Structure 1
Amino acid sequence: MPATLDAPPASPGRAGAGSDFAPLARQVRASGLLDRRTGYYARAIGLNLAATAALWAAVAWAGGSWWVVLLGVPLAVVSARTAFLGHDAGHRQIARSARANRVLGLLLGNLLLGMGHGWWTDKHNRHHANPNHVGKDPDVGEGVLAWTREQAAGRRGPLRWVARHQALLFFPLLTLEGLNLKVGSALFLRGRSRRERVVEGGLLALHAALYVGLAFTLVSPAKALVLIALHQALFGVHLGSVFAPNHKGMAMPRPGERWGHLRRQVLTSRNVRGGRVTDWFMGGLNYQIEHHLFPGIPRCNLRRVQPLVREHCARVGLPFTEAGLVASYREALGHMREAGAPLRGRP
């Protein structure tokens, strides 16, 4: 699999009169699918908070037994649901005002998860603006993993060994993603305004105090450490498992290439085929093409907008990429193996 894929010729980047995205944008806007679904999100947030409280009550009830550490599994699942809601708040899908969405993002991200809303929003918006574009998309930037052969060739020391075997190491490395999100959130605040440091940093500190304090109060220190480790490891695996199939192995614009909005979002994204269970497991992000084209559309409307997007792509001659969950992982991991191939002595 090549590090970059060919794409149709570029088109205007905005949904202007001559844009191939404009007709689709008008159609979706007229359909009402962009309208806020406050009732849906009120129920989702309420159920999520209730589930979180119930699980910590279960930790208190079962705290005398080592079986309590297994509650780290449902805690990770519920934490991922919280992260998906925070993601939606960051895209202003939930409330009508930017302020209300920011408050929700701070409460869901900083307070409940210990993941900075400002850090995530900054990083994720840059990803949406230039998905899969090396040098512009932080999700394919320099890091532990290499997303192109050029990145892999530049690895030195232990990171070279990681890049050589990264397809095999991918899921084990995701066990550290929960910790990575917290560290990245804290480091992001170093260059921010005093107000951001106070508000976001204060909520992150409050989360840490409440989370660690609750765990060590309800169960013995040894059980608390294992419970926290399992919770955070599986939380990282869950989130990474959702985000991995979305873009890995899809088109990567070459330096200097300029694609219009429709091509930039469709060619770099992969949908994951499935039913309601897949929708729930992936927080709606299995509709990655639709989400990238219309990041403000409420999650519950993504399934309904898909036929409109699929038909429009067919009309303009754009490939609409969709795969099953297992096949999407196979393609993503295949891309990672290909990126590290030269380090294993393969052409």
Structure 2
Amino acid sequence: MMLEDEHEGNGSLVGKSQQYLGEKQQANGKPVTNGKDSVKQEANGKCDMSRKILTMYSWQEIQRHNQEADQWLVINRKVYDVTDWAKRHPGGHQVLNHYAGEDATDVFRAMHLKLDIVKLYLEPLLIGELSPEEPSQERNKNPQLVEDFQELRRTLEAMNMFKTNWVFFFLHLAQILILETLAWLMVWHFGNGWLMTIFISFLLLISQMQSFFLQHDSGHLSMFTNSKWNHLMQKFLMSHLKGLSAKWWNNQHFQHHVKTNIYPKDPDIDVGPLFLVGDLQPVKYGKKKIKFIDYEKQHLYFYMVGIPLFVPLYFNIKSIQLMYFQRCWEDIAWISSFYIRHFIMLGPFYGIFGTILLIYGVKFLESAWMTYVTQMSHIPMKMSREENREWFSTQVLATCNTEQSFFNDWFTGHLNFQIEHHLFPTMPRHNYHKVAPLVRSLCAKHGLPYVSKPMLEAFGDIVRALKKSAALWRDAYYET
């Protein structure tokens, strides 16, 4: 994507909304076409207005603007000042801050499905471009790997690998609604006996699992191309069907995707003081003589505490914290509908206390599944501080797959293809297995590991990784 400069100054959001879609003025006071028309003209190759002369920047200059109060980034050799815009970024301000002073071309393309819409927001932020003698990426990156990956993406786009199969997602949504309805009909017809309660819990458990997969797709914009419908669907799936804040999930999850296993930018690996993961955090805690728990036994705490309480306690606390501090009234209303629906459907049979017990009993069961599925692909993999590697190598080194089978695909919602999912977050999951051979081939060409394991081995690697981290903490803690 190439953007032509139509703005003067530093590109900050002075005037804010009127600069995005409204009429813009040239230095002589004459109006120029608005952002939407400009995008269309550029797309048709008919934009004949005079271009402003862009300021040329070196990488050395750009890399100095890497603070929260001063954020520049590069996309396709264009330099953007996103300092003011970061606070209003739909994916959260941290995502932009994580790439301040860096080339963000590949991550930008990976995380945005409809570029024409995003262009309207980029244009006012444009302040310059890389000097002609500067490489397109920072000098520590492998330009051939970057070029090969971008060529791979163009190939996949030509193969329609980013095109959604609506029937696939409709059937999954229908499955969720059928399971929810069936659970209510069963208790209404047969009552609330122990065997019936167990069966109903199983139906609700499957529904919760599939709801997570579907909202995950919606959150990455691969299910719906219309942003309003996508927003509504994710609220329905995450907040109404699962009882968690969709905004919290997006803010947390998008950071995980753009800086996977990068400490402390990825919130999924910054889980101290409960657990220490990777090679860096245990040593840091050990040298500072920090011992909130006996970390030598953290793999046992993982079974006793981490697995059962991951969803019903940790997720809910984090969700409530964000809604409270950011006053997310919309999410609060949607989550209220989750509990109201359950009290209406199950309250007459189980009472208020029994309904709450059933809800959290299902979450308790779901927690074991969700912990394994979400952690097996990352905890055993490379964790590091910021190295500013290529997008491709960062994702490949920080993720791994589990072997494909009908059960593995269903059990994980195709998140057993974690490498492909991280490289192409907006790709519909039903296409992961089709692109996996091409990704594996690119890894082989550049000498990068493409890790794919049996599922039970992947489960076991979580514990082995925790024990390894515990040993690092012990050595640093007791070091004289």
TM-score of the pair, normalised by structure 1: 0.88
User: Counterparts of 2:284 and 2:244 in 1: how far apart (Å)?
Assistant: 28
Aligned to 1:178: 311
Aligned to 1:166: 298
- Report deviation, 1:169: 2.5
Aligned residue among 30, 36, 40 for 2:164:
36
- Report deviation, 1:152: 4.9
Aligned residue among 266, 270, 292 for 1:141:
270
- What are the Cα deviations for residues 43-99 of structure 1, in whole angstroms up to 9, with x where unaligned? 211121111211222233343412233132332122011011011100001011222
Q: SS where residue 175 of structure 1 aligns?
A: helix
Aligned to 1:310: 440
| Residue 207 (1) aligns with residue 338 (2) | yes
User: Counterparts of 2:168 and 2:250 in 1: how far apart (Å)?
Assistant: 22
Give yes or no for contact 2:376–2:458 (8 Å, CA) kept in 1. yes
1:33–1:185 Cα change, 3 Å: same
- Report deviation, 1:343: 5.4
Comparing 203-212 with 131-140, greater Cα deviation is found at 203-212
Give yes or no for contact 2:190–2:196 (8 Å, CA) kept in 1. yes
Aligned residue among 267, 273, 281 for 2:403:
273
1:114–1:220 Cα change, 3 Å: closer
User: Counterparts of 1:132 and 1:96 in 2: how far apart (Å)?
Assistant: 29
Give yes or no for contact 1:60–1:219 (8 Å, CA) kept in 2. no
Larger relative contact order (Cα-Cα within 8 Å, sequence gap ≥ 6): 1
Q: How does 1:88-99 map to 2 (within 5 A)?
A: 88-99=217-228
User: Counterparts of 2:214 and 2:237 in 1: how far apart (Å)?
Assistant: 7
- What are the Cα deviations for residues 303-337 of structure 1, in whole angstroms up to 9, with x where unaligned? 11111111121122211011110111122211111
- Report deviation, 1:216: 2.7
- Report deviation, 1:114: 0.4
Bigger Rg, structure 1 or 2: 2
Q: Quick one: which amino acid aligns to residue 131 of structure 1?
A: T
Q: How does 1:1-347 map to 2 (within 5 A)?
A: 14-15=105-106, 18=143, 19=146, 20-70=148-198, 71-143=200-272, 144-148=274-278, 149-150=282-283, 152-153=285-286, 156=290, 159-161=292-294, 163-172=295-304, 173-179=306-312, 180-192=314-326, 197-219=328-350, 223-224=354-355, 226-253=357-384, 255-342=385-472
User: Counterparts of 2:331 and 2:354 in 1: how far apart (Å)?
Assistant: 30
| Structure 2: segments with no counterpart, 5+ residues | 1-101, 107-135, 138-142
1:151–1:121 Cα change, 3 Å: farther
Give yes or no for contact 1:178–1:236 (8 Å, CA) kept in 2. yes
1:292–1:237 Cα change, 3 Å: same
Give yes or no for contact 1:77–1:238 (8 Å, CA) kept in 2. no
User: Counterparts of 2:189 and 2:373 in 1: how far apart (Å)?
Assistant: 32
Q: SS where residue 177 of structure 2 aligns?
A: helix
- Report deviation, 1:248: 1.0
Give yes or no for contact 2:173–2:214 (8 Å, CA) kept in 1. yes
User: Counterparts of 1:155 and 1:116 in 2: how far apart (Å)?
Assistant: 36
User: Counterparts of 2:284 and 2:165 in 1: how far apart (Å)?
Assistant: 42
TM-score of the pair, normalised by structure 2: 0.64
1:151–1:75 Cα change, 3 Å: farther
Q: Quick one: which amino acid aligns to residue 49 of structure 1?
A: L
How many residue pairs get matched?
331
Comparing 81-90 with 19-28, greater Cα deviation is found at 19-28
- Report deviation, 1:190: 2.5
- Report deviation, 1:171: 3.4
Aligned residues: CA RMSD: 2.4
- Report deviation, 1:111: 0.7
Identical aligned pairs, as a percentage? 24
Q: Quick one: which amino acid aligns to residue 317 of structure 1?
A: G
Give yes or no for contact 2:343–2:352 (8 Å, CA) kept in 1. no
